[in-house]
Amino acid sequence: MTDQQANTIAKLEEDKDELLQLKSDLNKNGIFLSFNGPISQDLMVELGDILKKQMKMADASTSTIVTVFSALVEQSQNIIQHSAETLPVNGENDDKLMFGTIAVGYTDNKYFVLGGNKINKADESNLKNHLKQIQNLNKEGLKELYHRQRKEGKLENGTSAGLGLIELARKASQPIQYEFFPIDEEQTFFAMRSFI
């Protein structure tokens, strides 16, 4: 066996241990579907198909499947629209891959959808204020806010209407959980969980 072959085998052994630990951690946390990397509309279609099949095999109701799928789409749209971690496609800055992490799980008789991505620190305050506003509303208040934002088209700070987050909160069985984790002076990691 050559040194290169020995190094390759050693690296595979190390990777196997890391992958087994990752699988164990995902299972322990009830996560049955996850993705980390560039997120696109096409990827969401594929993940959505897998999600629907897996939930059908688990005897989830059609309405639950639709609601969880919708939450997955909303979380992925948030990443596609706001991720600060991007990569230009074919050198074109207008066409970018947006990076993030998304997962779906089941715990305590509830499904949940997790999403996370890097955001620019300058965007943190507006996002936090919007989420606080959403968290303080009941279902009727969320419905009124949703219709008002659809009509007005913009939040008070001039950014997009934030309809996806409002819709996510309307479908969730409890208030959206979120956190901001500082990375450096320019970026923060934004993580959000919604229970269905």
pLDDT 10s digits, 18-38: 889 999 999 999 999 999 999
Q: Is 55 exposed, middle or buried (0-12, 13-18, 19+ CB in 10 A)?
A: buried
* Token output for 51: 């999600």
Type of residue found at 121:
K
Q: Between 62-82 and 163-171, two packed helices, what is the crossing angle to 10 degrees? A: 150
Contact (Cβ atoms closer than 8 angstroms) between residue 153 and residue 74? no
Per-residue pLDDT, 158: 46
Per-residue pLDDT, 162: 78
**pTM for the full model?**
0.84
Q: Between 139-152 and 121-135, two packed helices, what is the crossing angle to 10 degrees? A: 130
Domain count, the chain: 1
Q: H or E element: which one contains 93?
A: strand 92-107
Instruction: Provide the β-strand partners of residue 96.
Output: 88
Which CATH number belongs to the domain containing residue 156 in this structure? 3.30.565.10
Given a cut of 70, the residues of the chain with pLDDT beneath it are: 91-94, 154-161
Structural domain boundaries, residue 189? 3-195
In whole angstroms, what is the distance from residue 100 CA to residue 180 CA? 14
Instruction: Indicate if the alpha-carbon torsion angle 116, 121, 123, 126 is positive or negative.
Output: positive
Phi-psi category of residue 122: left, alpha or beta, with phi > 0 → left and psi -120 to 50 → alpha = alpha
Contact (Cβ atoms closer than 8 angstroms) between residue 170 and residue 145? no
In whole angstroms, what is the distance from residue 139 CA to residue 104 CA? 23
